[in-house]
Structure 1
Amino acid sequence: MRSPRQLNGSVDVLDAVVVGAGWAGLGVSYWLARKGLTHRVLERGRIGETWRTQRWDAFHMNTPNVQTIMPGDRYDGPDPQGVLTRDQFVALLEDFAGRNALPIEMDTVVSELMHENGVYRLTTSRGMLKARNVVVASGNLNCAVRPSASDALPADIYQVDASSYRSAADLPAGAVLVVGSGQSGAQIAEELAEAGRAVFLATSRVGRLPRRYRGRDVMLWLEESGFLDVRREEVIRLAGRIPPRGVLGSEHTISLQSLAAQGIVLLGRLTSVADNGSLSFADEVGPNVRFGDEASSNAKRHIDDYIDRAGIDAPAAEPDPAETVVWRKPDTAILSLDLARSGVTSVVWCTGFKGDFGYVGLPGALNAAGQPVHTDGVGALPGLYFAGLDFASTRKSGIILAIAEEAPRLVEHIVRDSRSSMT
């Protein structure tokens, strides 16, 4: 490939620039290279920077090893239904980039993306690049979102987002309030309880999946049965919105009732913070427990139907301790919590993420919320693409399973449009 910086005294125009060297960006780069397209991958830090710096120490992948693979690779190790740790996954990304000699420029921050004279211009911490196409693969789940109630908490309460939490040992001594019972909140709350901390968990309406079902990891069933291929539009039609991912423990099932059985105090949704530091919660723990149960039952029913249709000889379902444990509803719902009297010294906010696309200075590229305008990853502007977005096309979008289909599709779009512009 030619150098992207200078050509005959002027800035060379690349076929494409990819912003972000996580699994999505590396997957797109792999296919760009296979098509012989000149490109660079710009990474603000190191390969897999978000995975290195925004995951806690004990984090594990939620896809089994056999599914945690990059384009062109296949798993042939001894533990196909095991799961990688955070550091093992980063090593996988580094190995993939090295084996395929992908053109990555690390420690390169993109500060501005503009368009002029039919070419995209990227201003970076290392200079300027020009490209006919830009694939933004910096993710839309890397900027933590806190509710405004966080500003009203007493100044002596230590607050940390799920993306900055590392371990129980890093928190001040005392009880911990975890706000949000989705994927991160449930796993972090369990880890804190296992570390001996008193834990309060503000729950929400989030579904749940069993870790294993009928002899296999549930993700294998969901992929094989087509559950993950349901289109974004259908998900919205069924749920009325894009719902949070169902809670899936990395190595075992996690339910709200299993967390309660470990001594975690379940609360409803956080609704307000009083001036005296007292927090109010909605009376909805029971409905939230039932919603998780129903989501798990629906997923298992889908798998059962698939097994029957396909004539698969699968073992019968076995009782799952996390789902058979009985939730004992307290006599009186806890609707308020005085942090000082409860001994709470820390709050871990697990209340969602959004993408940071502030560098995209292109009219029409982002919506009013600053998030990408796209259809199946193809942006609203010619030559602009987005890879790795959550629920971009299907339920599969946003997890590593999607890149095997997403990357070649986006790159083929680039190739096709490039050919059209030359005719």
Structure 2
Amino acid sequence: MSEVLDALVIGAGPAGLGVSYFLKQEGRNHQVLDRGRIGETWRTQRWNSFRLNSPTIRSILPGDAYEGPDPWGAITHHEFVAYLAGYAERHCLPVITQTPAIELTKDDGLFRVATARGALLARNVVIATGDQNRQVRPPGSADLPIAIHQVDSSAYRSAADLENGAVLVVGSGQSGGQIAEDLAVSGRTVLLATSRNGRWVRRYRGGNMLHWLTLSGFFDVPRKELVLPSGKFPARALAGATHTISLQALSAQGVVLLGRFRGVENGSLIFGDELANNMRFADEVSASTKRLIDEYIERVGLDVPPAESDPAETVEPRLPHPPIRSLDWSASRVRSVVWCTGFTGDFSWVRLPGALDAAGQPVHEDGVGAIPGLFFAGLDFGSTRKSGTIPAIAEEAARLVNRLVGQA
């Protein structure tokens, strides 16, 4: 406890490593603390077939440049974990692993982080654990029969790990759409309780859609312009890592599409009547996104291929008729439920009055906390629509470190 660090970074994922890189460039005495290994969440909360949605060339951390043969490919999470470990080693970043932060307090102008190995003192703290590490389940999950095996998307690995029988996937965002497809490809009977999510095609007019959205400025829209009347942020659009995933394509693969999961009544699983609206909404988001790209291409005068239809969007859907609103779980042979219903952040160890709101989430402005010297990196929608994604790290980590150095 004799040494006082200029900064302590909590979390050795991509956001924390990016911050550490810039702190080192500034010559700041700092440490990076992680509860497990480098990239622990990427190691333990991804299914076996998972691939990054961001293309490889945009999944590179600050100070690195991609020089491989497949810049627009999609690497596996295993490859990304290996990259993170190599990144920390190549840039000689001061990472301490297997050391969870037990409590964060502040006294006499210094932050104190308690760990099982002792306490660390720092003038500044950057919390880089993100706010997508604690799974959220709907209240109705507690009413499911004990015979139904429940697993969160973060704990799902493969179809082989689930009970024999049909699988209900709840939520049709990024995780839900991809996991439903993974199960269907494995030959399982899959039911998908849909949600209101947009959709992006994987490729459009000769380029990667995420690349187009980056160039057009779509991802640069400020946080404050994205907040819904409810105070929440819009759900991320469903985007397949290697190809387009749509509700109609999933149905053509045999996935039974349902409305929103409503709960359990008299031993039956209950679903809403939103399926048609959810499918329409996804189609509309895809179409409006393409129009945005078309306008960008015309505005800057790019010579690119014309638009082509995507088979995942033109395939004829196979929908249950009549729509399924109630399902006897026993008769339907549903034996497993995979919850793909979102995440929130676990900041219960932060004991700083005013640092968190009533819901236990960070109070901040573009990642700068309400308490001087406290910063948050890697928050979903933390500054812009791009925040919380790997392509945002270089820009946002540099900005946070500049702010930290400027007020030191």
In which range does the TM-score fall when normalised by the shorter chain?
A: over 0.9
1:158–1:172 contact (8 Å) kept in structure 2 = yes
Work out the percentage of aligned pairs sharing the same amino acid. Answer: 60
The answer to whether structure 1 residue 30 and structure 2 residue 50 are counterparts is: no
2:368–2:374 contact (8 Å) kept in structure 1 = yes
The answer to whether structure 1 residue 246 and structure 2 residue 237 are counterparts is: yes
Partner residue, 1:421? none
Q: What are the within-5 Å matches in structure 2 for residues 305-316 of structure 1? A: 305-316=295-306
Partner residue, 2:401? 411
TM-score (norm 2): 0.98
The answer to whether structure 1 residue 40 and structure 2 residue 31 are counterparts is: yes
1:286–1:329 contact (8 Å) kept in structure 2 = no
Which of 126, 129, 153 is 2:120 aligned to? 129
Distance 1:237 1:129 in 2: 39
Q: CA deviation at 1:145?
A: 0.7
Partner residue, 2:347? 357
1:152–1:275 contact (8 Å) kept in structure 2 = no
Q: CA deviation at 1:125?
A: 1.7
Q: What per-residue deviation string (whole Å, max 9, x for no partner) do you get for residues 151-192 of structure 1?
A: 111111111000000000100111100011110000000000
What RMSD over aligned residues (CA atoms) do the two structures have, in Å? 1.1
Which of 269, 276, 288 is 1:279 aligned to? 269
Distance 2:263 2:389 in 1: 33
Runs of 4+ in 1 over 3 A off after TM superposition: 237-241, 328-331
Which of 388, 393, 411 is 2:378 aligned to? 388
Q: Which runs of 5+ in 2 are unaligned?
A: none
Distance 1:314 1:337 in 2: 48
TM-score (norm 1): 0.95
Q: CA deviation at 1:284?
A: 1.0
SS of alignment partner, residue 273 of structure 1 = strand
Q: CA deviation at 1:236?
A: 2.0
Distance 2:114 2:265 in 1: 45
2:198–2:282 contact (8 Å) kept in structure 1 = yes
Q: Which amino acid aligns with 1:15?
A: D
Q: CA deviation at 1:329?
A: 4.3
Which of 184, 188, 194 is 2:179 aligned to? 188
Q: Which runs of 5+ in 1 are unaligned?
A: 6-10, 419-423
Q: Which amino acid aligns with 2:312?
A: A
The answer to whether structure 1 residue 303 and structure 2 residue 257 are counterparts is: no
Partner residue, 2:359? 369
The answer to whether structure 1 residue 270 and structure 2 residue 237 are counterparts is: no
The alignment covers a number of residue pairs equal to 408
Partner residue, 1:235? 226
1:19–1:135 contact (8 Å) kept in structure 2 = yes
Q: What per-residue deviation string (whole Å, max 9, x for no partner) do you get for residues 98-157 of structure 1?
A: 001000000001010001100000001211000000000011001111111111111111
SS of alignment partner, residue 341 of structure 1 = coil
Q: Which amino acid aligns with 2:74?
A: V
Q: What are the within-5 Å matches in structure 2 for residues 193-232 of structure 1? A: 193-232=184-223
2:256–2:320 contact (8 Å) kept in structure 1 = no
Q: Which amino acid aligns with 1:139?
A: G
Which of 132, 145, 162 is 2:153 aligned to? 162
Q: CA deviation at 1:12?
A: 1.2
